[in-house]
A and B are shown apart, each in its own frame.
Chain A
Amino acid sequence: MSENHKIIEIEVLRYNPESDEEPHLEVYKVPFTDDMSVLQGAQYIKDNFDGSLTFRWSCRMAICGSCGMMINGIPKLSCETFLRDYYPNRIRIEALAHFPIEKDLVVDLSGFIEKLEAIQPYIIPKEPKTLAEGEYLQTPKEFNAYIQFTSCINCTLCYAACPQFGLNPDFIGPAAMALLHRYNMDSRDGASASRMELVASEEGVYNCSAVGYCSEVCPKHVDPASAVNINKANAAKDYFLRFLSPKGGSK
């Protein structure tokens, strides 16, 4: 076999809800070339060894956010992680940590989707304008205040990196908070007070103990940890000053 057909061992955490009580590891010997991603390794297994291996993917270019998995215990996008970087060692792939495993590498994201809905992820204008009144203008400075938090691709690697989410699945968590912060910081939006109920609640930001690993693993440099922590200060302000504010803050 030539130089460009090395063999790497890929250990996969398998779980079939119809037949298994719990997940188990299986090892596959995968021939690979230097340009092959971990995702392509999984595809090779599916095409050649076991067609029932289940995993999500779409874009193969780190933008759809669907191919996240634990690679040697670290949450990563499998389409931008390369087999060559692990060779000659064995590589272990598992479903994203902290989420329930649906089948093999696919996790149940319904809790995350509910959280995304709960943050009111759309601009709620301060004063609605009619079409005739024209568009909402924004300066570059106002744009810069939130642009970083728009880069999230909902890959949920940050949830797989967050032990507090693992310990309390109700915690709103990093990506949903980053998106919430994105709308709060938008000069065209006026709904931060109504989002505060969630931020300041038992499910809110105070579940975070500033581990910071979420920002470390984020492939898009969203820095969700910063969004969570800035909102601790905001929620504290709201907690202590709500009696002074004319509207009484959130409940």
Chain B
Amino acid sequence: MSKRKPYVRSMDGWWKKNPYFVEYMIHESTALFVAAYCLVLLVGVIRLGQGEAAWNGWLAAMQSPLSVLCHLVLLAGAVYHTYSWFKILPITMPPVIVGGKKMAPEALTGTALAVAAAAGLALLALVWRIAL
């Protein structure tokens, strides 16, 4: 008779056991911040369709101190999403070959973050142009 009795350990609480996993869980959670903002935006779209008064009501709601505070929190979450999304880019994306060599992970993340910053600024410039 076999004396084998392999013991399977529980996975309960695995994400607390290693700082790497804690960071993983935090960066995963940033999606909630992004989605919360998109729902605010969706309400805006609906209010826009209900006419000028409704839209101005939405704009006024966005001006409340609580709203601004919430958006500061959402901004922090969204910025961390951008950072972490591009931080893992070197493993999520096929290798980029520059001059016959694989681009270093730090260089790839750096380039991607620069592109993201440029995209954000381009959006700001566009909104500015529309506003004037």
Contacts and interface: CB of A to CB of B under 8 A. Distances in A.
Let me know if chains A and B touch directly in the complex, using CB atoms closer than 8 Å: yes
Interface of A: 15, 17-18, 22-23, 73-74, 97-98, 100-102, 108, 141, 163, 166-167, 209-213, 215-216, 223, 225-226, 229-230, 233
Given A226-B90, A233-B94, A74 B5 contact: no
B131 to A, nearest CB: 38
Contacts of B24: 211-213
Contact of B7 (A23, A97, A166, A233): A23
A102 B9 CA distance: 11
Given A17-B3, A101-B7, A102-B6, A229 B15 contact: no
7 contacts: A73-B17, A98-B11, A212-B24, A215-B91, A225-B91, A226-B90, A230-B94
Contacts of B17: 73
A141 B100 CA distance: 8
Nearest to B93: A229
Contacts of B92: 210, 229
What 9 pairs across the A-B complex have the smallest Cβ distances?
Answer: A100-B6, A17-B5, A225-B91, A101-B7, A108-B6, A229-B92, A100-B8, A226-B91, A166-B11
Contacts of A23: 7, 9
B20 A216 contact: yes
A17 B6 contact: yes
Interface of B: 3-9, 11, 14-15, 17-18, 20-21, 24, 28, 88, 90-95, 100
B6 A213 contact: no
A90 B100 CA distance: 46
A229 B91 contact: yes
B14 A163 contact: yes
Contacts of A101: 6-9
B86 to A, nearest CB: 12
Contacts of B93: 229
Contacts of A167: 11
Nearest to A102: B6
A102 B3 CA distance: 10
Nearest to B100: A141
Contacts of A74: 18
Most buried by B among A22, A73, A141, A163: A163
Contacts of A97: 9
B21 A211 contact: yes
Contacts of B28: 209
Nearest to A100: B6
B14 A166 contact: yes
A17 B91 contact: no
A212 B91 contact: yes
Nearest to B94: A230
A151 to B, nearest CB: 14
A101 B93 CA distance: 35
A102 B4 CA distance: 7
A213 B7 contact: no
A18 B91 contact: no
Contacts of A100: 6-8
